[in-house]
Structure formats: C-alpha cells, structure tokens
C-alpha cells in the first residue's frame, strides 16, 4: 500500500470520464440538455391576451353547462367541476383512447383541458363507499339508482338500463353510454341556441364531437383554439372500500400532504373493462387524488415524464394499447419505490427518463401494470402477447437511441408551436374581446382578471384547477388551484 501511494503521488489523475448511459452510449449530460430544451418548448408562456382568451373560453363552457342544467334540471343545481390541464388523450384520466378521434396540438388546437362534470353526486357519506362490483372487473362498477331518492330516479330513468328481479322489484342501473348520449344531445341543443343569438366577443365553436363517452369541443377565441374534453362522471365524497387497503401502505406523499387531502373524493368515469358491459360499467377514477399527489413529485421527474409521454404517444399509437395514463401510474409507483432524496436531484432528469422507458418495457414484457390505487387491478391484463411484444420492441429502439427520439419530440413540439404562432399572427388584427367587454375601456375588470389569471398560471405550472359554479350565477368564477381559492 505504501509503495502504491508513493507511486501515485507523482502522477496527475485523469479527468473523470463523462457519464454515459450503458445501453445506448448516450452522454447523460446531453440527454439532460435535450430534456430541458423539450420542456422549454413544451411549456407555453401566456401573455395578457392569451390569459384573457383562456378565461373567455372557460366562461363560455361554464355558461353552456349552466344552460344544459336548465334544459331538464338533470344536472345538480350547484355543481362542482374538476378542470384538469391536458386533454383525455394526454392521459389525465384513465379512459380508453381507441374510441377517440386523433387531434394534434398545433394542427387542431393550441391548449387542451379535461372537465369532469358530475351528473350525479353522492356527497353525504362519511364511511367508505361500497359499490356494486359483482358484475364487473376490478376497478369497475355498476351504479344502482337505489342509492338515490325517488326524484333523482324519475329524472334519470331514461338514462338507465332496467333489470327486473324475480321478487318483482325493478332496479335502474345508471348507464354511461346513455348518459353520454343525453349529454351530447343536450350540449348540441344549447350550442345551437347560443349560436342563434351570437354576442360580440363570443367564442367560435369550431368542432363538437362525441368521442366514445366524452364530448370534445374546440373553441376559437381570438387567436387561440382551446380543446375541452368534457366527461360526464359520478362524484363521491370519501373513499371506495375496494381501495381501503392502499391507505394502509407507506407512500411517497406521507408527511407532505395529509391523508384527508388525498382521500377527499373519487369519481366513476364512463369507461368499461375489456370484457365489460359498455351500457352498465363505469371505471373508478382517482383524478382528484392525483391532483394532490402531483404536488409531491419533483420537477425533474415531471420533466422526464412529460418528455417520455411525448415519445410514447407518437411511437405506441398503433395498435392502441399503452396510454399516457399507464406511464403516469408507473411514475407514481416509482415515487413509492425510490428514495425521495434521489428523485429530488435536479440534474437527474435523464436517469428518470431512461428509468421510465425501462419500467414501461418491463411492464409490457411481463404484461403487468398495476393500478396505483387498486394494485390488484392489472391494467395490461387484456392485451395479447403479440401486441405487448410489438410495443416492447418499439421501446427497445427508443432505449437504444434516446437522444434521437428526444430530438424528434422536440421537433414535433416546435412545429406545433410554429403552427400556433402562425395562427396568432393571422388572427392578431381581429383579436376578440371578452364577452363581458364592450370593447371600450381597456381597463375593464376583465383585463385585471386576465392579469390575475396569468399570474395564477405562472405561479402554478402544471397544476389542476377546481371550479365551483352556480348555473344561476355564471358571472362569478370560483377558482380553486389545489387548496387555494380565488
């Protein structure tokens, strides 16, 4: 040992070799820079005009829903919507994508949102909610209207499937497909009425389509096009009994947010299992909880997730088997599995991206992706061996050259931004004022609201917004970003 020390004393140590990814040979530093570049182009900055356009579109959608409620009084009078940034195709809720038309950012829209609209609410429960899961696959349920009063049953009877029992009793099961049909027809009627009496500054309805059980609306406001995926849901306060055991485990969010915030409520969304009965089966959704959990995920991991999502949306689109929601679930599992100090490293985005690709490939090869909240539910169980191996091979090509696939994702997002800027340039001479504005005073309250909204967007990147709205008074927006009210 002494000799070796003496020998090394006179030599200069070699500079450390740059950190490489063993599989692809890519420089980790280069991957980090590419992820940062993707993030820069993927995150849009909102000026006052764009913030005002976002507010105008939101007001229009909420006013429209208020009018839908007044059509036949089916929707709850004072409703609570959950507004999520990103459309259904972005994986913000667990809904199958194979029934959805393909929309592309830049070509079809500039910004996208998902709005969960409760058709029914069960909000008076303090105990775990027990659902009728006898007829359905894990993570799914039928919903009997026997849980509700006679008035609710008579209102929604035409949106139910009817089952007569031997004892003569009739059971009405709330039908996701019939509810979606009713919702689409009601929205179409309301939009037709609105367009008969156009007001100055009113958004232009560019597209209204029923995509499976969701209604997609694209609005043109000034130089912006906003996609709203509107999802009729059943809203519950409390927590489902089937997910009760999940609460007993240790999780990455322990000590960062309270259990009460995580289990404040859940939804049934109109989606059925692979072999389920489409007319009767709903899927459990924990979108409200996911909004809270997102607060505990590091920015570097979120950047890696967004970059990975952009890659797989393009690469794994045919046949549709993997959705961004699967990737989101894997990210949540990774947060539980790995030390928080490791996931908090700011310069580890490349490691996280490679890890997410490895995780996804592992899930495909093993045909196993557990739902984060109900782990006994395997979200890939229904896929064929051929499909999972096809996608696993595609992912193998990504893993062999992640830098090239990141560059492609960057080019796609830059191209989408160029299309948006071109549209803005063409529309800049005819920008639309807010419906509440008479176009006179530039210091209208709407201008102040636009600045406030811009501030909210800037201070809360990627966060989701709850909105409380009373259809009898749509002039007063009530924002809640996470647990803050505005």
Pick the closest to residue 107 from 210, 249, 207, 251 (CA basis).
207
pTM, entire model? 0.84
More confident residue, 371 or 169: 371
CA distance 363 to 395: 11
pLDDT at 98: 82
- What SS3 string covers the chain? CHHHHHHHHCCCCCCCCCCECCCCCCEHHHHHHHHHHHHHHHCCCCCHHHHHHHHHHHHHHHHHHHHHHHHHCCCCCCEEEEEEECCHHHCCCCCCCCCCCCCCECCCECEEEEEEEEEEEECCCCCCECCECCCCCCCEEECEHHHCCHHHHHHHHHHEEEEECCCCCEEEEECHHHHHHHHHHHHHHHHHHHHHCCCCCCCEEEEEEEECCEEEEEEEECCEEEEEEEEEEEEEECCEHHHHHHHHCCCCCECCECHHHHCCEEEEECCCCCCCCCCCCEEEECHHHHHHHHCCCCHHHHHHHHHHHHHHHHHCCCCCCCCHHHHHHHHHHHHHHCCHHHHCCCCCHHHHHHHHHHHHHHHHHCCCCECCCCCCCECCCCCCHHHHHHHHHHHHHHHHCHHHHHHHHHHHHHHHHHHHHHHHHHHHHHCCCCCCCCCCCCCCHHHHHHHHHHHHHHHCCCCCEEEEEECCECCCCCEEECCEEC
pLDDT at 15: 61
CA distances from 150 to 153, 154, 159, 236 (A): 5, 6, 15, 19
Residue 474 CB contacts under 8 Å (≥ 6 apart), including other chains:
59, 62, 63, 66
For the segment 89-101, what is each residue's pLDDT rounded down to a tens digit?
999 999 988 888 8
pLDDT at 62: 95
CA distance 452 to 316: 39
Report the percentage of the chain scoring pLDDT > 70. Answer: 83
pLDDT at 401: 96
For the segment 462-483, what is each residue's pLDDT rounded down to a tens digit?
555 555 544 444 444 455 555 4
Residue 222: Cβ-neighbour burial (10 angstroms; 0-12, 13-18, 19+)? buried
pLDDT at 421: 86
pLDDT at 324: 93
Would you call 480 helix, strand, or coil by DSSP? strand
pLDDT for 141 beyond 60 = yes
CA distances from 199 to 196, 226, 234, 268, 435 (A): 10, 19, 33, 36, 7
More confident residue, 315 or 188: 188
The mean per-residue pLDDT over the stretch 376-399 comes to 94
pLDDT for 295 beyond 60 = yes
The mean per-residue pLDDT over the stretch 83-87 comes to 94
Pick the closest to residue 316 from 327, 306, 305 (CA basis).
327
**Residue 120 confidence class, pLDDT cut points 50, 70, 90:** very high
Quote the distance between the C-alpha of residue 298 and its chain's center. 18
pLDDT at 264: 87
Whether the CB-CB separation of 466 and 80 falls below 8 Å is answered with yes
Tokens standing for 401?
Answer: 């050259």
pLDDT at 229: 97
More confident residue, 124 or 32: 32
More confident residue, 485 or 261: 261
pLDDT for 316 beyond 50 = yes
pLDDT for 116 beyond 80 = yes
Least confident of 1-15, 176-190, 365-379: 1-15
pLDDT at 332: 98
Least confident of 35-44, 75-84, 415-424: 415-424
Least confident of 126-135, 201-210, 370-379, 427-436: 427-436
pLDDT at 344: 96
**Residue 446 confidence class, pLDDT cut points 50, 70, 90:** very low
CA distances from 235 to 53, 118, 268, 277, 288 (A): 29, 6, 7, 21, 10
pLDDT at 480: 53
Structurally, what CATH architecture does the domain formed by 32-415 represent? 2-Layer Sandwich (3.30)
For the segment 199-257, what is each residue's pLDDT rounded down to a tens digit?
888 999 999 999 999 999 999 998 889 999 999 999 999 899 999 999 999 999 999 99
pLDDT for 12 beyond 90 = no
pLDDT for 56 beyond 50 = yes
Q: In the structure, how many helices (H) and strands (E) does the chain have? A: 14, 13
Least confident of 14-18, 227-231, 447-451: 447-451
Whether the CB-CB separation of 156 and 38 falls below 8 Å is answered with no
> For the chain, which residues make up each domain, given as ranges?
32-415
Would you call 152 helix, strand, or coil by DSSP? helix
Whether the CB-CB separation of 205 and 217 falls below 8 Å is answered with yes
pLDDT at 461: 56
Identify the helix (H) or strand (E) that includes residue 204: strand 204-211
Report the percentage of the chain scoring pLDDT > 90. Answer: 62
pLDDT at 5: 44
**Residue 131 confidence class, pLDDT cut points 50, 70, 90:** confident
pLDDT at 4: 44
């Amino acid at each position: 040992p002494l000799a070796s020390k003496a020998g090394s004393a006179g030599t200069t140590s070699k500079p450390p070799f740059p950190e490489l990814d063993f599989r692809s040979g890519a420089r980790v530093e280069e991957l980090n820079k590419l992820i940062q570049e993707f993030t820069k182009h993927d995150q849009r900055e909102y000026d006052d005009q764009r913030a005002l356009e976002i507010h105008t579109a939101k007001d229009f959608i909420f006013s429209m829903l208020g009018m839908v409620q007044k059509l036949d009084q089916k929707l709850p009078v004072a409703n609570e919507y959950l507004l999520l940034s990103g459309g259904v195709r972005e994986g913000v809720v667990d809904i199958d994508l194979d029934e959805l038309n393909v929309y592309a950012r830049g070509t079809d829209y500039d910004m996208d949102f998902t709005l969960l609209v409760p058709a029914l609410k069960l909000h008076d429960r303090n105990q775990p909610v027990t659902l009728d899961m006898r007829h359905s696959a894990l993570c799914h349920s039928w919903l009997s209207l026997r849980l509700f009063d006679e008035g609710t049953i008579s209102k929604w009877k035409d949106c139910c499937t009817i089952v007569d029992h031997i004892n003569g009793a009739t059971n009405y099961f709330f039908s996701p497909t019939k509810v979606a049909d009713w919702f689409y027809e009601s929205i179409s009627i309301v939009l037709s009425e609105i367009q008969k009496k156009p007001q100055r500054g009113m958004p232009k309805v560019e597209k209204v389509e029923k995509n499976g059980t969701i209604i997609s609306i694209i609005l043109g406001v000034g130089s912006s096009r906003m996609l709203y995926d509107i999802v009729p849901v059943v809203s519950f306060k409390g927590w489902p009994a089937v997910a009760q055991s999940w609460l007993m485990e240790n999780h990455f969010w322990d000590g960062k947010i309270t259990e009460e915030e995580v289990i404040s409520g859940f939804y049934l969304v109109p989606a059925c299992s692979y072999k389920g009965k489409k007319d009767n089966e709903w899927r459990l959704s924990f979108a409200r909880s996911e909004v809270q959990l997102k607060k505990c995920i590091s920015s570097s991991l979120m950047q890696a997730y967004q970059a990975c999502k952009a890659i797989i949306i393009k690469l794994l689109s045919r046949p549709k088997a993997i959705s961004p929601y699967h990737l989101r679930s894997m990210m949540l599992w990774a947060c539980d599995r790995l030390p928080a100090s490791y996931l908090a490293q700011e310069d580890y985005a490349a490691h996280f991206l490679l890890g997410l690709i490895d995780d996804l490939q592992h899930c495909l090869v093993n045909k196993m992706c557990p739902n984060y909240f109900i782990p006994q539910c395997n979200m890939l169980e229904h896929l064929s061996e051929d499909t999972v191996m096809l996608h696993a091979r595609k992912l193998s090509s990504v893993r062999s050259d992640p830098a090239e696939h990141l560059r492609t994702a960057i080019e796609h997002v830059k191209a989408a931004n160029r299309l948006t800027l071109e549209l803005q340039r063409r529309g800049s001479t005819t920008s639309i004022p807010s419906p509440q504005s008479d176009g006179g005073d530039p210091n209208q309250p709407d201008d102040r609201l636009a600045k406030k909204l811009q501030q909210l967007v800037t201070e809360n990147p990627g966060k989701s917004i709850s909105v409380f709205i009373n259809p009898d008074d749509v002039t007063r927006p009530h924002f809640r970003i996470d647990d803050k009210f505005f």
